[in-house]
Amino acid sequence: MQQVNCAIRADFEIEIDLSIGDRSDRDVAAVSRAVRSVTDEPGVDSRDDFGNNVDEALPVTVLSSTGTYLQWGSSNFDYPSLESTSDRDYFLFRGNAGSSYTISANPVGSSAADLLIQVFDLQTLGFFVTGSNPAGPTASLTTGVLPTTGWYAVRIGNRVLSTGEYTARIKLASSADDDFLNIKDEAYPVPNGISQAGYLTGYDVDRFQIYERLIGATNFTVTATGTPLPIVEAFTPAGTSLGSGVGSVVIPSAAITTTGTYYFTVRNPGGTSYPYSVTATFGCATTWNALVCDDLRYAPAIGSRYAWGDRFAGRLPGVDSRAVYSISLAANESATFAVADNTSTCTYALDLLPPAALSYFGIDPLITTPPNTPNPVYQWTDSLDTGFGPGASNQAGSNRGAGGHIFAPVAGTYSVRVRSITGTNCSYRVFLSKAGHLTYSLPEW
């Protein structure tokens, strides 16, 4: 068993990496809050709440010109912090081609932090900074128009040798920038029956996705509000149109012939820009919030579809509800996971389930259906009393999210199980992000 513990600890080291391309400097004493919850080693700084290089960057959502807070919560204790003069905090966001983004950061109270913001284009592993980052304690940077859609990394660090707490947020630079793309592979995930706000520019089309497990259970309904009413259209997992309508469309249950990800679009019929909201619903039974609806505890894991990972939305209708999402990793490849945009009245946990090659972790005795479910080898939670994982906050900055990173000790399919600790009817989004390159191989314990 000692051998297993060492392997886990090696998997979760954070490497201090002050440049994107050079990973030669290692400081194994600087460990994330998530690791400290397991190792409790002397000298570990429990406030090192976000990853210190791009491999451990936490994914966050950017939905509007209002902004998403890059912090744990709204109290002083929950502010992110630069714990040492060499500390760097990394975040990921999925940037849309043609849009620009503003990142701002400010010291909290008497904090001595003199902040520096940088943005990296992970498609080229280079800087993508065309805005300003003025001298002084506060920092603000607006990217130019992004050339491609993909992952971008935000690094917040010290301009001078200083430490302290700060607040930060990221937002679309202008409401005219595109918050959602009309690209199937970039369709934004929405939970079943939960309203989503958006903004339509002239003749704009926004595309969304929703996961459905039960075939022929009930109608697939999409309803939108706005002035004028936008045109909504529903699509099969293959992308074939199921029907459209002004303000709403109802697809009969007979047309729902397969499980998987369904899509829908919201289209501006004219040239005037305006806000809207849209709700997509699979009833699954007599009502959308029946326990059978969205309860994926007995369903197979939902696999990531893209080289960069994937993002999903879900809802946990009951206290025992759960859902499992998976990602394939090569040996020594890293990945980050985060639960974001979660229901404020709920707390969540992410359980890390190992691949078959790590079968010595055993079978979870509490789960008999589906059978042979492996024991979780790690857990992140947003519980207020423990706060193991450095996750992303919700947009209001008032709620923490569970999340963290791993280095895969062996090749295989790694899964995260989303479940609620407290609350029911808990909606969420979950991100699975791959760094796209391999780390150094792990030692042979």
Closest CA to 133 of 112, 154, 163, 162: 154
418 has a pLDDT exceeding 70: yes
Task: Give pLDDT, residue 386.
Answer: 44
Is residue 367 very low, low, confident or very high in pLDDT (cuts 50, 70, 90)?
low
- Mean pLDDT across the stretch 321-326? 91
415 has a pLDDT exceeding 70: yes
Task: Give pLDDT, residue 127.
Answer: 64
- Mean pLDDT across the stretch 373-377? 79
Task: Give pLDDT, residue 23.
Answer: 29
Task: Give pLDDT, residue 289.
Answer: 62
CATH code of the domain made up of 192-282: 2.60.120.380
Q: What single string gives the DSSP state of each residue in 156-213?
A: EEESSS--EEEEEEEEES-TTS-SS-S-GGGPEE--TT--EEEEE-TT-EEEEEEEE-
What gap in Å lies between CA 104 and CA 138, rounded to an integer? 8
373 has a pLDDT exceeding 70: yes
Q: Vertex 35, ends 32 and 41: CA angle to 5°?
A: 100
Task: Give pLDDT, residue 290.
Answer: 65
Task: Give pLDDT, residue 45.
Answer: 44
**pLDDT, tens only, 72-87:** 543 435 677 787 888 8
Beta strand 302-303 with 378-381 is unpaired
**pLDDT, tens only, 11-56:** 333 332 323 333 222 222 222 333 222 323 333 344 456 777 777 7
Least confident of 92-96, 237-241, 259-263: 92-96
Model's pTM, two decimal places? 0.81
Domain covering 302-438: architecture:
Sandwich (2.60)
261 has a pLDDT exceeding 50: yes
What gap in Å lies between CA 106 and CA 165, rounded to an integer? 9
CB 252 within 8 A of CB 219: yes
Please determine whether the domains at 2-172 and 302-438 fall in the same fold group of CATH.
Answer: yes
Residue type for position 50: F
Higher confidence at residue 428 or residue 229?
Answer: 229
**pLDDT, tens only, 276-304:** 999 999 877 656 666 677 888 878 889 99
Residue with tokens 């969304």: 208
Domain covering 2-172: architecture:
Sandwich (2.60)
CB 282 within 8 A of CB 191: no
89 has a pLDDT exceeding 90: no
Task: Give pLDDT, residue 36.
Answer: 27
Q: Other C-beta atoms within 10 Å of 132: how many? A: 11
141 has a pLDDT exceeding 70: yes
Closest CA to 69 of 100, 34, 99, 106: 106
**DSSP structural state of residue 376:** P
Higher confidence at residue 270 or residue 344?
Answer: 270
Residue type for position 25: D
Residue type for position 249: V
- Mean pLDDT across the stretch 399-424? 84
Structure tokens at 421: 């600790």
Q: Which of 55-59, 155-159, 230-234 has the highest mean pLDDT?
A: 230-234
Q: Exposure pattern of 390-403 as b/e (b: 16+ CB <10 Å)?
A: bbbbbbebebbbbb
**pLDDT, tens only, 194-223:** 999 999 999 999 999 999 877 556 789 999
Q: Which of 14-18, 46-50, 328-332, 397-401 has the highest mean pLDDT?
A: 328-332
Task: Give pLDDT, residue 30.
Answer: 27
CB 67 within 8 A of CB 154: no
Domain boundaries, the chain: 2-172, 192-282, 302-438
What gap in Å lies between CA 321 and CA 298, rounded to an integer? 9
Q: What single string gives the DSSP state of each residue in 241-286?
A: EEEEEESEEEE-GGG--S-EEEEEEEE-SSS--EEEEEEEEE-SSS
